[in-house]
Copies of this chain bind each other. A is one copy, B any other.
Amino acid sequence: MSRLLIDNGYFVTMDEQMPQYQGWMSIEGDRIAALGEGKAPEREIELATETLDGSGLLFMPGLVNTHGHAAMSLLRGLADDLALQDWLQNHMWPTEAKFTGDDVYWGSALAAAEMIKSGTTTFVDMYDHMHRVGEVVEKSGMRASLTRGVIGLCPEDVQKAKLADAIQFAKDWHGAANGRISVMISPHAPYTCPPDYILKFVEAAHELDLAMHTHMSETIAEVEQNVRDYGYRPVEHLDRLGMFGRPTLVAHAVHLNDEEIALLAERNVYVSHNPVSNLKLASGVARVPELMRAGVTVSLGTDSAASNNNLDLFQEITMAALLHKGVSGDPTVIPAAEALRMGTVNGARSIGLGGVTGQLKAGLKADFIALSIAQAHFVPLTDYISHLAYAARGSDVAHVWVDGKQLLRDGQLLTLDEEKILAEAERCFQRLKG
């Protein structure tokens, strides 16, 4: 079996003690075989079939983006600076209604190209035509947790067909691409799915033994509507519907009261925090420090490029570290290490991949990235955990590996044809807007 030895690199492993050191790492097949501080031991040098000089590079786990809609990259910059309902009803939904499987394929490929180039190795995607997203994941070499997001505001026969589609997608794709793809079950949101319809998704998740994913409490309006329509705020509503009996990842969770935070912690619900999208759509600022204090695992998502407008998870890491300090008035909340955990190990745990990815550790999958650190914004050598959280950008990523396979080398995609993707995505958009 091939064994890659990386020597003379700088490492941020995301281990519990958050070490950072000059060191080495060996990759055998799809896994991290060993790693350590200082020069590589003689034995590692002997075992290696290939060596990479890690000088000027910082190695860390690949980033995990826990909420998004990749295909919506086709709508980047189409409509900004608008009120949410205007944006959704007059711009997003009418254009999305025209999306074909082909659009989903090229929009998702556009997103995959951007994510790999900015250091994301694993992403969550909730959309339609999901087998086309699966094809992109398969081809790109990325790791993903995919889910058919179902809006249930439709006649019963359409509801049935959508649920069947979500179930069939799960059966066909869970465990696909050598296990790089897993599947979740997703009613889109409490405000777009009637309770009895949500119950069917919970039932399906039990039958298929899968986790669940949904949008929850993104805006104050939907929380108020939930109380009006069903008598409960969204957290209690979903809990009563049994959703939290499954491992569940909720996106946004901006508007929570103390009781809801306590219940989310008690039920081990995972929260995907999407600070850039929440700001851009003026949804508000999630109570992340309180969620963390309560013991909730909080990870980071970009949401789609239509409300962000890029997929650079380093921006979410920086935003998470900055925003909550300024809003809370406490400069000690979400320190650099915590923000990095949100973008890596917390993300992995939130989609059932703790112990699989999100850290550099012997035995874990070899999903890692290398940043070029011989740059002004990484000088001086004070603290690379700080530099990664506050100074780095996705564009600093030079190399990316997933499952031990290199997907990006010196900023060039190895598994995807970037030029073709950019051209096809532009072609799709020109047809959609026509």
Contact = CB atoms under 8 A, between A and B. Distances in A.
A309 interface: yes
B309 A81 contact: no
B331 A282 contact: yes
Contact of A380 (B74, B114, B280, B395): B74
A40 interface: no
In which size bucket is the chain A interface? Answer: 35 or more
B308 A390 contact: yes
Nearest to A322: B279
A71 to B, nearest CB: 12
Contacts of A422: 374-376, 379
A390 B281 CA distance: 12
Given A310-B391, A332-B83, A387-B309, A379 B282 contact: no
Contacts of A391: 76-77, 305, 308-310
Nearest to A396: B395
Copies per complex? 2
Residue from A391, A396, A428 whose CB has the most chain B CB atoms within 10 Å? A391
Contacts of A319: 322
Given A309-B390, A395-B395, A396-B395, A421 B376 contact: yes
Interface in A380-434: 380-384, 386-387, 390-391, 393-396, 418, 421-422, 425-426, 428-430
A418 B323 CA distance: 32
Contacts of A75: 382
Contact of A390 (B310, B323, B387): B310
Contacts of A331: 81-84, 87, 280-282
Given A332-B83, A425-B380, A312 B393 contact: yes
B376 A117 contact: yes
A155 interface: no
Contacts of A318: 315
A111 to B, nearest CB: 8
Contact of A418 (B77, B276, B376, B390): B376
Given A276-B322, A309-B387, A81 B382 contact: no
A345 interface: no
A128 to B, nearest CB: 19
A377 B54 CA distance: 28
Interface in A285-319: 285, 305, 308-312, 315, 318-319
30 contacts: A73-B376, A73-B379, A75-B382, A77-B380, A77-B382, A77-B387, A77-B390, A78-B383, A80-B390, A82-B331, A84-B331, A87-B331, A110-B376, A110-B379, A113-B376, A117-B376, A280-B321, A280-B322, A280-B325, A280-B390, A282-B330, A310-B390, A315-B318, A374-B422, A376-B418, A376-B422, A379-B422, A379-B426, A393-B394, A395-B396
6 closest cross-chain pairs (CB), A and B: A279-B326, A380-B429, A395-B395, A77-B382, A77-B386, A282-B331
